[in-house]
Amino acid sequence: MRLRRLAGRGRGDTVGSMRLSLALASLIVLPGGAQAWSFAPTPICTLSQAAFGLDTQVTFDPSQGLYTLTLTRPQGWPEAPVFAIRFDGASPLTISTDRHRVEGTRIVVTDSGFGNVLSGLEANTTATATVGDVSVRIDLAEAAGPVATFRACPATPSV
């Protein structure tokens, strides 16, 4: 084994072993790009995640009675007539709309009801957002708890 040969050959190999150990430790400690889902009740109810180059945010503004899904990525989004989000996992679901808008690097979908979106986020393991020829995967691991908290936000009506 190559690793065995590197170890135990005097003082120089100790430095090499330390470097190897540090390199392996950094692979374990460094985040893989995924950040946990989070919930904030103020100034408006907000559910969010930043992972793998995509910022995902769901908000509810009680003053307007509107939910908003905003997906932001550095490459932006193409203009297209339809936005779709497919949820995969325990409760698969696909939702599409023509009521979306591209604003620079963001795509924004606004509606007065988001029950299906919240259910999709809560019950599945991944989602795929598609606009034109661009599809981006959203990791839903550990989203269920923050989604449940979002649903219970005092400013949020039941959906």
Contact 16/8 with Cβ under 8 angstroms?
no
Q: Assess whether 98 and 62 both reside in one domain.
A: yes
Is the peptide bond preceding residue 146 cis, with omega within 30 degrees of 0? no
Q: What pLDDT sits at residue 3?
A: 31
What would the mean pLDDT of 37-59 be, rounded to a whole number? 92
- Residue 41's pLDDT is 85
Has residue 43 been placed in a domain?
yes
Helix, strand, or coil here: 144?
helix
Which residue from 146, 51, 131 is spatially nearest to 83, judged by alpha carbons?
Answer: 131
Residue 45, domain member (yes or no): yes
Are 21 and 51 in the same domain? no
Give the pLDDT of residue 63: 84
* Six-digit token string for 4: 């065995």
Q: d(Cα 69, Cα 47) in Å, to the nearest integer? A: 10
Number of domains in the chain: 2
Write down the residue that tokens 């908003």 correspond to.
68
Residue 43 pLDDT level (bands cut at 50, 70, 90):
confident
Closest alpha carbon to 114 in 67, 63, 57: 67
What is the pTM (predicted TM-score) of this model?
0.75
Greater pLDDT, 41 or 76? 76
Residue 94's domain spans which residues?
A: 38-151
pLDDT at 48 (0 to 100): 96
Tokens 């599945």 belong to which residue? 124
With bands split at pLDDT 50, 70 and 90, how would you rate the model's confidence at 89? very high
Q: Percent of the chain beyond pLDDT 90?
A: 64
Question: Is the predicted pLDDT of residue 109 greater than 70, yes or no?
Answer: yes
